[in-house]
Amino acid sequence: MQDLIPTPWELLLAALAVFRLWRLLAEDEILEVPRRKILRYEGWEGPRPGFPQGDPLPDGYRVKWRDFLVCPWCAGFWIGLLAWVFWLLFPSLALVVATPFALSAAVGLIRVNLDPPED
């Protein structure tokens, strides 16, 4: 039973990695174009120069998927569940894969919370 529960350090590493993965999928600009193509949603964050606007779709079409993806409670739970299952199946590999995501999350959180705001 003890093998089913991560140590505190493994849990922290996994939590930071899951946060970073959710951020990449839901909010980061680097995946803006694939997000628009998959959801085919034109009102993702409003019109922005240089980004395709998507297809005009009927009201409510794929809005639930967008709402699910940007919700850290919704998508975050499922990403966390998948990460935990991956850790159960391949504990060492999961920690190796999680480490760069966790480090990236730490850098982003430090930047947002500790760096002085730029004028």
Name the band, by pLDDT with cuts 50, 70 and 90, for residue 65. confident
Could you read off the pLDDT of 84-110 as tens digits, one per residue? Answer: 999 999 999 999 999 999 999 999 999
pLDDT number for residue 59: 62
Q: What SS3 state is found at 41?
A: coil
Name the band, by pLDDT with cuts 50, 70 and 90, for residue 51. low
Could you read off the pLDDT of 11-23 as tens digits, one per residue? Answer: 999 999 999 999 9
Residue 90 vs residue 63, higher pLDDT = 90
- Residue-wise DSSP of 59-111: TTTTHHHHHHHH-TTHHHHHHHHHHHHHHHH-HHHHHHHHHHHHHHHHHHHHH
What is the mean predicted confidence (pLDDT) over 36-49? 61
Q: Tell which residue, 2, 20, 4, 43, has the closest CA to residue 98.
A: 20
Q: Residue 24 contacts by C-beta under 8 Å, 6 or more apart in sequence?
A: 30, 31
Residue 48 vs residue 18, higher pLDDT = 18
Name the band, by pLDDT with cuts 50, 70 and 90, for residue 45. low
End-to-end CA distance of the chain: 52
Residue 93 vs residue 56, higher pLDDT = 93
Query: Helix %, strand %, coil % for the chain, to 5?
Result: 70, 0, 30
